[in-house]
Structure 1
Amino acid sequence: MDAEAFLRTVDVDGTTGPDGPRLAADEPHPDVQSVLRTRRRFQPVALSTLGARGARLLERLGLWLQDADPPAVGSAVDLTAPGPDGGVPIRRYRPTNTGPYPTVVFYHGGGFVLGSLDSHDLLCRHLTAESGCEVVSVDYRLAPEHPFPAAVEDAYAAVEWAATGPDALDSDGRLAVAGDSAGGALAAVVSLMAAERDGPEIDYQSLIYPAVGIRDDHRSMREHAGYVISEDDIRWFDRCYYGSEIHRRNPYADPSRADDRSGVPPATVVTAGFDPLRDGGIAYARQLVGDGVSVRFRNYPDMVHGFVGMLSESEGVERAHEAVDDIATDLRRAFGVDD
């Protein structure tokens, strides 16, 4: 079933019609259950209890304990792009073959509070190796120290910088944005801003379980909050990021609130069956289709939020590798690059 046909079978609460495929399996995949058991031992209390500093320390500890086995890339170099409040740190990954290459600007997840160049280094290396694209990972400013719109400003500045083709990049002029969770929201927002502002020409957007259109009454929220992220976690992230209630209706904070998305580039939208953000991602995919945007929708029924990053040998989630390959395949198709 193609994306448009599938999305027509899905109701706003995430249920499907009698002929629609199941959004969630009976239970998460055993590989994911093993990862979640291990992670629960390292996080005994809620993120809101730890606070931003404590949660970031815990994140760094998890990275230190991870036995990553990264695929080969041509190079990985830390650079700085000009931003609205000083330089924006980035990490640029080149494939092993000779350029120039299409460029993918990547935004990490973490609820706009967590995440870094290091937290998504393994994912970016896999994406570079599988797609054959140059990947530019962006270390945007984090809340609560820098609430909305700081992350959006940095994200847009980074894609403007990448589009200018500076000497540090080996770009062939083709450009995509990608991100997971909060980073998926930023990729969608940057695509919307570029369309509305006559900004950089973005050829494709890859939105991996994007944090958009989140509603308490979504079925996925009611049934799957607690797998990886809880309702309390989501509310805490929101309080940190928005800073003020007045920003919640801003389409540059949540592009599902935009009146028109018809000018944005084609998209891949990835969701996971046991993700509380699943139905928000599906609703956004439906909005894109409704506005005439071509969408490739990929749902992984036995996966959880954050699964695409479960790429280390110790976690051993094979579906994560399959998803990265799927995302990379969509990018290659969008750029007309042979497999």
Structure 2
Amino acid sequence: MLHPHAQALLDLIAERGVPPTHTLTPAEARAVYRDRRGFTQPAPATVAEVRELQAQGPHGAIPLRLYRPLDAMPDSVLPALVYYHGGGWVIGDLDTHDTLCRELANHSGCAVVSVDYRLAPEHRFPAAVDDAIAAARWVQREAKSLRIDAERIAVGGDSAGGNLAAVVAIAARDAGDLPLAYQLLIYPATDQHRNAPSHRTNGQGYLLTTDTMAYFTDHYIPEPAHYADWRASPLLHPDLSRLPPALVLTAGYDPLRDEGLAYAQKLSEAGNRATHLSFERQIHGFILMGRVLDEANTAVRLCAAALRDALRG
């Protein structure tokens, strides 16, 4: 059963005639997504420090934003989460996920480094993957100057960002020179074929639709032959062993629900420590909506607690 708060939000969206994302240009969709923050997100929490940074990657500069939690001493060396925002690889930025990153930092006691990776269609697959890997490597390499513990770095993200975090974890394992301590995967996209049953049962009426998923994928990966590339579909990687412990969070009324669950199951079957947590009454994107969805705030605190336990001990 859909949570009453989620149903009320969907009813309001329909009543106001908010245009579906797939009917907008990428520029329009980015503006709408950014503007929605004021209605659905809590006020940004105060943190000890926010710093704008820049990493270098194969495609040029990558903007980053560092958050240090409110109770952190200036000289404290903290564990860190490298965070990749959601938005279908087409929309979203540092500002759309500013509140969430502040909350994760404060509740976990960890630093958070948010990554403004390149977006499609201007930069198609695998540009976002390249930026995501380069950003994590940069954080690890610059850990001392950032007052971050290089041995306690996690990767995480929501939706498209969860996809990128999972891919970074695999790439880091295969390279062998970027030790990662944890994965926080919030309703991740793990298979670009979009064949899981939840794409049919939840494909209409719950904010993220089949049409919008196709819009995002077509902009990001215009060649279907690339869907099978594990950098696009980490669920399809033939070896998911020896990966960092993971929390995989899903929502019951989300088209991505089943592929998130399948990824958690495959991680566990490969011998990793993986926990799956499902908010059965929620919709895709809910963790950003703490102003209107009470369970979003619960989800943020659970994610932060998992980070704290994994990284701070």
Alignment of 1:63-78 (within 5 A): 63=37, 68-78=42-52
Q: Does 1:191 align with 2:198?
A: no
Counterpart of 1:251 (choices 230, 237, 256) is 230
1:296 to 275, 278, 288: 275
Which of 137, 140, 154 is the equivalent residue of 2:117? 140
Deviation at 1:216, TM superposition (A): 4.7
Partners of 1:160 and 1:81 in 2: how far apart?
9
Structure 2: where are the runs of 5+ without partners? none
Contact conserved, 1:131 with 1:331, CA < 8 A, in 2? yes
Specify the SS of the correspondent of 1:248. helix
Q: Which aligned pairs between 1:255-294 and structure 2 lie closer than 5 A?
A: 255-294=234-273
Q: How many residues align?
A: 308
Following superposition, the deviation at residue 106 of structure 1 comes to 0.2
Give the TM-score normalised by structure 1.
0.87
Q: Secondary structure at the match of 2:212?
A: helix
In the alignment, the residues of structure 2 paired with residue 166 and residue 269 of structure 1 have an alpha-carbon distance, to the nearest angstrom, of 26
Deviation at 1:40, TM superposition (A): 3.6
Kindly report which structure 2 residues correspond to 1:1-339, keeping only aligned pairs within 5 A, or say none: 27-41=1-15, 44-63=18-37, 68-96=42-70, 97-98=72-73, 99-166=76-143, 168-173=145-150, 174-213=152-191, 216-226=194-204, 227-312=206-291, 315=292, 317-337=293-313
CA pair 285-214 structure 1, distance change in 2 beyond 3 A:
farther
Matches of 1:121 and 1:37, distance apart in 2: 26
Moved more, 168-177 or 155-164: 168-177
SS of the residue corresponding to residue 283 of structure 2 reads coil
Structure-2 change in CA distance of 1:182 and 1:216 (3 Å)? closer
| Superposed displacement of residue 168, structure 1 | 4.7
Cα contact 1:214–1:280 (8 A) shared by 2: no
Task: Return the alpha-carbon distance in structure 2 between the equivalents of residues 253 and 329 of structure 1.
Answer: 29
Does the aligned pair in 1 maintain the 2:193–2:227 contact within 8 Å?
no
Structure 1 runs not aligned, ≥5 long: 1-26
In the superposition, relative to structure 1, how do residues 67 and 230 fare at CA in structure 2: closer, same or farther (>3 Å)? closer
CA contact under 8 A between 1:106 and 1:138: conserved in structure 2? yes
User: Partner letter of residue 56 of structure 2?
Assistant: P
Q: For 2:118 and 2:17, how far apart are their aligned partners in 1?
A: 24
CA 1:121 to 1:240, structure 2 compared with 1: closer, same or farther past 3 Å? same
CA distance in 2, matches of 1:160, 1:41: 45
Contact 2:125 2:221 in 1 (8 A): yes
Q: In structure 2, what is the equivalent of residue 10 of structure 1?
A: none
RMSD: 1.6
Distance, in Å, in 2 between the alignment partners of 1:42 and 1:288 is: 41
Q: 1:196·1:263 contact (CA, 8 Å) conserved in 2? A: no
Percent identity, please.
41
Q: CA deviation at 1:263?
A: 2.0
Alpha-carbon contact 1:216-1:222 (below 8 Å) kept: no
The separation in 2 between residues aligned to 1:301 and 1:92, in whole angstroms, is 32
Is the CA contact 2:34–2:92 (under 8 Å) kept in the aligned structure 1?
no
Q: Secondary structure at the match of 1:325?
A: helix
Q: Distance in 1 between matches of 2:37 and 2:265?
A: 36
**Contact kept? 1:288, 1:294, Cα under 8 Å:** yes
Displacement of 1:279 after TM fit?
Answer: 0.3
* CA distance in structure 1 between the aligned counterparts of 2:214 and 2:186, rounded to whole angstroms: 20
For 2:21 and 2:67, the matched residues in 1 are separated by: 31
Inter-partner Cα distance in structure 1 for 2:169 and 2:229: 15
- Give the Cα–Cα distance (whole angstroms) in 2 for the partners of residues 184 and 291 of structure 1: 19
Give me the TM-score of the superposition, normalised by structure 2. 0.94
